[in-house]
C-alpha cells in the first residue's frame, strides 16, 4: 500500500471557472449578477462572490517569504509572536509601578505608561515608575506628548545606568505633532520646533534600534469615522510627511524610518483589517525605498494596533468582548508587533480589574490556545485575502498619490481635504447605522429588551469628543462612536422613565398568522432599540376586541401587524377607533394602498427601509419624551 500514492481527490475532475459561472447564471434565473453577488465594500473596490487560484496570477509578490521586502508577509521570519500591551494612566508613580508589576505577572509583556504631558518628570520619577521592570524583556511605551524628548533622554540614561543591551530594549515615546494637528488643530509649539524636536530625538536614541520616538496615529482617522482604506492611506501620507520633513532637516532615511511606529485601530471588518495591515507593510516599504535607504531592512514598518473604539457600545456592553476578540484575531493573523484589547467597559467607565483581566486573557487565549503566534503570515495563499490585500494596496496608493498632488499631508490638512473626506465617510456610515444597513449588535439591532441604565453615566459619553483648541489653525477631526446617536435615544427613554411610566408598545396582531408574527417580531426589535416596553399578543379574532385591549393597556403606541392584503380594510378602521388613545403605527409599507392609508390618518410606517433613528426620535417627540 505504501507504493500506491495518490493525490487527494484526484479521482474528481477539475471544475473550470466557466463551469462555475454557468451554474451560477442558471441559479440566478436572469437576476443581475453584479447586483446580487458582487459586494460593494465601501472601500473604493468591489469583491467577487468567490476566488480561485487563477486570481493570484495577477498579484505580484505572492511567492515572497516572510521577513523579505516588501514585507507584505510580515517582518518575522519565524513564528508570529507579538507584544501583549496594557495601558496604565500614571497619576501616582508608586501606584502605577505596583500595578505594572502586577499585570506583568498576569501575561502582559508591554506597558503603555500614560503620563501628564504638562508635568516635568525627573530621573527619579521615571526610575521609580520603572523599578523592578526589566527593559530587555518588557516593551516600555511612554505616552507623553510634549514631554517626549525629556522622557526619551531620561530613559536612555536609565538604560545606560543599568547596563542594558541596546539591541534588546524595545519601546517608544508617542510623539506625533501631525496627529495633534488634526485632533487639536495646532502643533505643540510650531511646525519648525516640533520637527526640530523630532530630529533631536532621532539623534538622541540612534543607538536604540528598537525604540521608536515618532508615532503616526492612524487610529485618529478611524475614531473620526474614516473607512479602512482611508485610515491606511492618510497614515501613509503622514508617515511620508515625517520622512520628507526630517530628511530635509539633514537626517538620513536610515535614521528616520526605524525611529517611527504606526498605531492603527482594528475594526470589526475581519478580512478587510487583515488586508489593511498586510497592505500597510507593503506600501510603507515602497515609500521608504524611494528615499534611498542603505538596505531593505530600513523599510520594515513597526505596527502597534488597538481594538476599535468607534464601534463599542454602552448598552449590551458584553458584546464588546465579541467585537474585540475578532478584531484581535485580525491583528494577530496580519502579524502586528504589539496589540491592546480595549476593555469592554472603556466607553462608559474607568476599566475595572475584571474588564482589564478579560482584555488581557483574550490575547493570551489567541496565543496559548489558538496558537496564532506560531505561524508567520497564516493568511498567505488565501485567494480571498491575497486579492483583498492587492485591492487595498491599489486603492490606498491612489488616495496617497492624490494627497501628494495636493502638496503632501500638511497641505491636505490645512486645506481641510482630508477632514472633509473622512466626514463624508462618517456621514455615510451614520446613515447606514440609522437605516440598519450596518448593524451594531445590541444597539440598533437585536437589543436586550430588559436592559436599563440605572447608574450615573456622564452625558459626554453619548456625545462626540471635541479636543479643538481655541487657537486652532486647521479644521479638526471629531472622534465619536457610531452607536452614540442610538444610545442617546435609548438613554432619553430611560431618563424619562425614572419619573414617568415607561412608554409601552402594543402589538395589534390580526389576520394572516405568519405575517402578523413576522411583523410583530420586526416591530418589537424596532421599538426595543429605544428602550420601550413591549406588550405582545397572540392575535385578535375581531378588530373591536383588539381595539378594546389596546385601550385597556394604556399603551402610548399601537402597532398594527398583519398582511398587506388585509391592511386596506383593517388599518383605517383601527386607526379611526384608536384616535385620541394612542399613536398608531403600521408595520410594513404597502405601496399600492399607501396613499389611501395616509388619507385615513396613518402617518407612521415602519419597514426594512425605514430610517430607524429618525422614526424613533419623531415618536419620542410625540410622546413628550
Q: What is the pLDDT of residue 23?
A: 95
Q: Which domain holds residue 570?
A: 501-623
Are 585 and 562 a contacting pair, CB within 8 Å? no
HSE at residue 341, side-chain half, CA atoms within 13 A, is 30
Backbone angles phi, psi at 519, to 5 degrees: -75, -30
- Please check the confidence at residue 8 and state whether its pLDDT lies above 80: no
Q: Report whether pLDDT(307) > 60.
A: yes
User: What's the N-to-C CA distance of the chain in angstroms?
Assistant: 79
Distance from C-alpha of 423 to C-alpha of 168, rounded to nearest angstrom: 42
Give alpha helix (H) positions in 381-502: 383-405, 409-414, 417-434, 484-497
Find the Cα–Cα–Cα–Cα dihedral 38, 41, 46, 52, rounded to 10°: -70
Q: What are phi and psi of 496, to 5 degrees?
A: -60, -40
Residue 1 has pLDDT above 70, yes or no: no
In a domain, 403, yes or no: no
Domain assignment present for 302: no
Task: Give pLDDT, residue 14.
Answer: 86
> Which phi and psi angles does 560 have, rounded to 5°?
-80, 125
**Average of pLDDT values for 531-542?**
96
Q: Give kind and range of the element (H or E) at residue 168.
A: none
Contacts of 471 (CB under 8 A, 6+ apart): 185, 186
CA–CA distances in Å: residue 624 to residues 492, 503, 556 = 11, 10, 11
What own/partner pairs with CB < 8 Å and gap ≥ 24 does 178-181 have?
A: 178/216, 178/238, 178/241, 178/242, 178/409, 178/410, 178/413, 179/215, 179/216, 179/217, 179/220, 179/238, 180/145, 181/410, 181/413, 181/474
- The answer to the question of residue 546 being in a domain is yes
The Cα 409–Cα 236 span in angstroms is 9
pLDDT tens readout for residues 455-500: 889 999 999 999 999 999 999 999 999 999 999 999 999 999 999 9
Q: Centre a 10 Å sphere on the Cβ of residue 192 and count the other Cβ atoms it contains.
A: 11
> Does position 605 have pLDDT exceeding 80, yes or no?
yes
Chain CA centroid to CA 156, Å: 35
Q: How confident is the model at residue 2 (pLDDT cuts 50, 70, 90)?
A: low
Could you tell me whether strands 211-212 and 338-340 are parallel, antiparallel, or unpaired per DSSP bridges? unpaired
Give the phi and the psi of residue 606 in degrees, each rounded to 5: -115, 135
Domain-located, residue 458: no
pLDDT at 97 over 70: yes
> Contact, 15 vs 9, CB < 8 A?
no
Between CA 336 and CA 470 the distance in angstroms is: 37
Q: What integer is the mean pLDDT of 259-278?
A: 98
Averaged pLDDT of the chain: 96
Q: Is residue 521 part of a domain?
A: yes
- The CATH number for 611's domain is 3.40.50.280
pLDDT value for 3:
60
pLDDT at position 141, please?
Answer: 98
Question: For residue 326, what are the contacts with CB-CB under 8 A and spacing of at least 6?
Answer: 268, 270
- Kindly state whether residue 267 falls inside one of the protein's structural domains: no
Q: 68-104 b/e with 16+ CB inside 10 Å = b? A: ebbbbbbbbeeebbbbbbbbbebeebeebbebbeebb
HSE, CB side, 13 Å, CA atoms: give it for residue 173: 26
How far, in Å, CA of 573 to CA of 543, rounded?
8
Q: Are 114 and 88 in contact (CB under 8 A)?
A: yes
Q: Is the pLDDT of residue 590 over 90?
A: yes
Choose among 481, 550, 486, 539: nearest CA to 514.
539
Measured between alpha carbons, how far is residue 460 from residues 441, 495, 620 in Å? 22, 15, 21
**Chain centroid to CA 279: how far?**
17
> Does 7 score more than 80 pLDDT?
no
pLDDT at 511 exceeding the cut of 90: yes
**Which stretches does DSSP call E strand in 39-147?**
39-40, 46-47, 83-89, 110-114, 139-143
Residue 12 predicted with pLDDT over 90: no
Instruction: Specify the 3-state DSSP secondary structure of 515.
Output: helix
Q: Is the pLDDT of residue 59 over 60?
A: yes
Report how far apart, in Å, the C-alpha atoms of 552 and of each of 63, 337, 342, 501, 535 are: 72, 63, 48, 15, 12
Judge residue 468's burial from the number of C-beta atoms within 10 Å of its C-beta, 0-12 exposed, 13-18 middle, 19 or more buried. middle
How many other CB atoms are there within 10 angstroms of residue 324's CB atom? 27
Domain C-terminal end among 27, 42, 58? 58
Across the chain, which distance is largest between two alpha carbons, in Å?
Answer: 88
What confidence score (pLDDT) does residue 13 get?
85
The pLDDT confidence band at residue 4, using thresholds 50, 70 and 90, is: low
Residue 311 lies in a domain: no
The DSSP-derived string for 339-395 is EEPPPTTTTTS---HHHHHHHHHHHHHHHHTT-TTSSS-TTTT-HHHHHHHHHHHHH
Q: Is the dihedral of CA 226, 230, 236, 239 positive or negative?
A: negative
d(CA 441, CA 456): 23
Give the C-alpha separation, 596 to 575, whole Å: 12
Q: In this structure, what C-alpha cell is assigned to residue 489?
A: 435615544
Residue 320's CB is within 10 A of a number of other CB atoms, namely 27
Mean pLDDT of all residues in 150-179: 97
Structurally, the chain folds into a number of domains equal to: 2
Instruction: Note whether residue 79 is domain-resident.
Output: no
Mind listing the pLDDT tens digit for each residue in 201-238?
999 999 999 999 999 999 999 999 999 999 999 999 99
Amino acid at each position: 500500500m505504501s507504493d500506491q500514492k495518490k493525490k487527494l481527490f484526484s479521482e474528481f475532475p477539475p471544475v473550470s471557472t466557466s463551469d462555475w459561472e454557468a451554474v451560477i447564471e442558471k441559479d440566478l434565473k436572469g437576476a443581475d449578477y453584479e447586483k446580487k453577488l458582487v459586494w460593494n465594500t465601501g472601500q473604493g473596490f468591489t469583491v467577487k462572490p468567490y476566488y480561485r487560484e487563477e486570481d493570484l496570477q495577477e498579484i505580484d509578490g505572492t511567492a515572497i517569504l516572510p521577513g523579505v521586502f516588501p514585507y507584505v508577509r510580515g517582518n518575522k521570519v519565524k513564528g508570529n509572536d507579538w507584544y501583549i500591551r496594557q495601558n496604565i494612566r500614571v497619576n501616582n508613580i508608586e501606584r502605577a509601578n505596583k500595578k505594572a508589576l502586577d499585570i506583568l505577572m498576569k501575561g502582559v509583556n508591554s506597558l503603555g505608561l500614560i503620563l501628564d504631558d504638562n508635568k516635568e518628570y525627573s530621573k527619579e520619577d521615571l526610575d521609580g515608575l520603572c523599578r523592578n521592570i526589566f527593559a530587555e524583556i518588557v516593551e516600555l511605551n511612554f505616552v507623553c506628548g510634549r514631554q517626549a524628548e525629556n522622557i526619551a533622554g531620561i530613559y536612555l540614561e536609565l538604560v545606560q545606568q543599568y547596563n542594558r543591551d541596546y539591541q534588546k530594549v524595545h519601546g517608544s515615546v508617542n510623539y506625533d505633532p501631525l496627529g495633534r494637528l488634526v485632533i487639536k488643530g495646532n502643533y505643540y509649539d510650531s511646525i519648525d520646533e516640533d520637527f526640530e524636536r523630532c530630529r533631536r530625538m532621532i539623534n538622541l536614541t540612534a543607538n536604540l534600534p528598537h525604540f521608536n520616538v515618532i508615532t503616526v496615529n492612524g487610529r485618529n482617522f478611524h475614531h473620526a469615522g474614516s473607512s479602512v482604506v482611508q485610515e491606511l492611506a492618510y497614515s501613509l501620507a503622514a508617515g511620508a510627511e515625517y520622512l520628507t520633513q526630517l530628511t530635509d532637516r539633514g537626517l538620513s532615511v536610515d535614521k528616520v524610518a526605524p525611529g517611527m511606529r504606526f498605531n492603527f485601530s482594528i475594526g470589526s471588518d475581519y478580512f478587510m483589517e487583515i488586508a489593511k495591515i498586510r497592505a500597510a507593510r507593503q506600501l510603507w516599504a515602497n515609500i521608504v525605498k524611494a528615499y534611498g535607504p542603505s538596505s531593505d531592512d530600513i523599510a520594515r514598518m513597526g505596527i502597534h494596533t488597538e481594538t476599535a473604539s468607534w464601534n463599542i457600545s454602552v448598552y449590551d456592553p458584553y458584546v464588546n468582548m465579541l467585537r474585540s476578540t475578532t478584531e484581535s484575531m485580525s491583528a494577530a493573523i496580519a502579524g502586528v508587533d504589539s496589540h491592546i484589547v480595549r476593555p469592554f467597559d472603556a466607553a462608559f467607565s474607568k476599566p475595572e480589574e475584571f474588564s482589564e483581566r478579560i482584555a488581557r486573557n483574550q490575547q493570551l487565549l489567541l496565543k496559548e490556545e489558538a496558537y496564532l503566534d506560531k505561524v508567520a503570515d497564516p493568511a498567505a495563499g488565501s485567494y480571498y485575502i491575497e486579492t483583498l490585500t492587492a485591492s487595498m494596496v491599489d486603492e490606498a496608493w491612489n488616495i496617497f498619490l492624490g494627497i501628494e498632488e495636493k502638496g503632501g499631508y500638511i497641505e491636505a490638512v490645512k486645506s481641510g481635504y482630508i477632514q472633509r473626506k473622512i466626514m463624508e465617510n462618517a456621514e455615510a456610515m451614520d446613515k447606514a447605522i440609522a437605516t440598519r444597513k450596518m448593524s451594531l449588535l445590541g444597539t440598533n439591532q437585536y437589543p436586550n429588551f430588559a436592559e436599563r441604565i440605572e447608574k450615573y453615566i456622564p452625558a459626554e459619553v453619548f456625545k462626540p469628543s471635541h479636543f479643538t483648541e481655541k487657537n486652532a489653525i486647521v479644521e479638526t477631526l471629531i472622534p465619536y462612536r457610531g452607536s452614540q446617536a442610538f444610545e442617546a435615544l435609548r438613554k432619553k427613554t430611560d431618563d424619562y422613565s425614572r419619573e414617568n411610566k415607561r412608554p409601552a408598545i402594543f402589538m395589534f396582531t390580526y389576520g394572516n398568522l405568519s405575517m402578523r408574527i413576522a411583523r410583530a417580531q420586526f416591530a418589537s426589535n424596532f421599538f426595543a432599540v429605544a428602550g420601550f416596553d413591549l406588550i405582545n399578543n397572540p392575535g385578535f379574532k375581531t378588530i373591536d376586541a383588539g381595539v378594546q385591549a389596546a385601550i385597556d393597556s394604556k399603551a402610548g403606541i399601537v402597532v398594527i401587524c398583519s398582511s398587506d392584503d388585509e391592511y386596506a380594510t383593517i388599518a383605517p378602521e383601527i386607526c379611526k377607533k384608536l384616535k385620541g388613545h394612542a399613536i398608531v403605527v403600521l408595520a410594513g409599507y404597502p405601496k399600492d394602498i399607501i396613499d389611501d392609508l395616509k388619507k385615513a390618518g396613518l402617518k407612521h410606517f415602519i419597514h426594512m427601509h425605514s430610517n430607524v433613528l429618525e422614526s424613533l426620535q419623531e415618536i419620542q417627540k410625540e410622546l413628550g419624551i
